[in-house]
Amino acid sequence: MWDRITHLHPSFVQNSHNADIAADSYHNYKRDVEMLREMSLDTYRFSISWPRILPTGMPNDINPAGIAYYNNLINELLKYNITPMVTLYHWDLPIKLFELGGFANPLITDWFEDYARIVFQNFGDRVKHFITFNEPREVCVLSDVMSMSIGAIEHSKLDEINDIVNYLCAKNLVLAHAKAYYLYEREFKPTQGGQCGITISVPWFEPHTDTPEDELAAELKRQGEWGLYAHPIFSSEGGFPKELSERIAKKSAEQGYTRSRLPEFTEEEKAFIKGSADFFGVNHYTTYLVSASVNKLDNNPIPSLADDIDVGLVDPEGWPQSDIGWLTLAPNSLHNALTHLNTKYNSPVFYITENGWSSFPETDLNDVDRVNYYRASLENVLDILDDGINLKGYMAWSLMDNFEWMHGYTQCFGLYHVDFQDPARTRTPKKSAFVYKHIVNNRYVDPTYQPESMTMTIDPGH
């Protein structure tokens, strides 16, 4: 669907950029693995594209070139003892399935299960860490934005249906996740011996003050942003979060609906979804301060998730801000998020599957702000481990600059700079790559370390 939108609606992306070539890992995957070796990394998380494997989205039409590409990448990683961690869905829905309603269509659970089976069959003999979905909240919220642009739904009509689409998507997505999880557990885990989990975007939402009103506002924000997807899987009671469910039911009644706009799970569905993950993947970037009264918007669409939660966000003072705008270097952000999740969801196994800093395209590769961010985050990781939280891995976002969705190539997260003007898409390490390598090799964060040169080499054994 991103191919469609960047060509039919180029203004949707900054500078009308498209992802036809992007960083061109299709042809440069050996260089990508070499970069991992240069930094002494032992794990690579990447996604498999549903439409690259199944162009129509359906299992009767398998693209052998897509299978071959991922086999080549996986084999290259294993050649150098680098563990592949594979995400099945990172927002690139086959356009034919999007036209059938995408995640608002309950049949998506069957379509995703069929796709997952093909992935497990073809790659599960070598891949032992599978992630079903990357960032369900973003999938469901961006579905509306994509509908607006691809389906030509006008803004006014979109505002009328967006909360309904979001909530249908939330239910169908977690059911699709559970179907894929139990498919793996039933048909593949006994022989392949791997694990299957899900990755959820978890910003930390801190109460602006310690008043009960702000505490509740922050909790509602957490439940609306990621609890909708984490709670059915990881909580002991299952189903959608209690306070948010009650708020949506109350608002729905006031607005004249005969039932809550948040669809209910049956008791069988709750039991089916609950516990359907071997690990909790966490994408974490930043913290927001949440208020029950300050900076509340008076123009939220009614009905909508934003109106259902009805809270405000307060800009913090003194937190360094990235070029992307929404990302700040907040104190103890990662530690606060993991501590909360660990307590709320009874100590699951965690992987930090994304964490990083954005900037405008660098010219001198001296990305000091990114260095500061990673040092602060990895100090948080040490604190998390000291607290006994079951954190099994950390993955930076991102190995290299990439097509950053609606920002195109105007925002960069990479440890390696990619020259998007060069047909070869040359990759060059930034200062952050050298600092990250030093942390990985030495297993501690040295705030004084400075690379002696900007030449990256592969250490013996990597």
Active site residue 38: no
Could you say which of 135, 219, 225, 404 is catalytic?
A: 135
Could you say which of 38, 113, 354, 404 is catalytic?
A: 354
CA-CA distance, 368 to 93, in Å (whole number)?
A: 36
Active site residue 135: yes
CA-CA distance, 50 to 34, in Å (whole number)?
A: 26
Of 236, 208, 433, 233, nearest to 346 by C-alpha is 236
Spell out the alpha helix ranges (H) of 103-200.
Answer: 108-123, 136-150, 155-183, 189-192
- Chain CA centroid to CA 28, Å: 23
Phi, psi of 440 (to 5 degrees): -60, -45
CA-CA distance, 1 to 20, in Å (whole number)?
A: 12
Spell out the alpha helix ranges (H) of 274-427.
Answer: 305-309, 333-344, 368-386
Spell out the alpha helix ranges (H) of 204-266.
Answer: 212-222, 228-234, 242-254
How deeply is 115 buried, as exposed, middle or buried, from its count of CB atoms within 10 A (0-12, 13-18, 19+)? buried
Cβ pair 120, 130 in contact under 8 A: yes
CA-CA distance, 83 to 351, in Å (whole number)?
A: 14
- The one-character DSSP state at 354 is E
Cβ pair 287, 328 in contact under 8 A: yes
Alpha carbon dihedral 61, 64, 67, 68, in 10-degree steps, equals -170
CA-CA distance, 343 to 350, in Å (whole number)?
A: 12
Cβ pair 337, 331 in contact under 8 A: no
How deeply is 339 buried, as exposed, middle or buried, from its count of CB atoms within 10 A (0-12, 13-18, 19+)? middle
Residue numbers annotated as active site? 135, 354
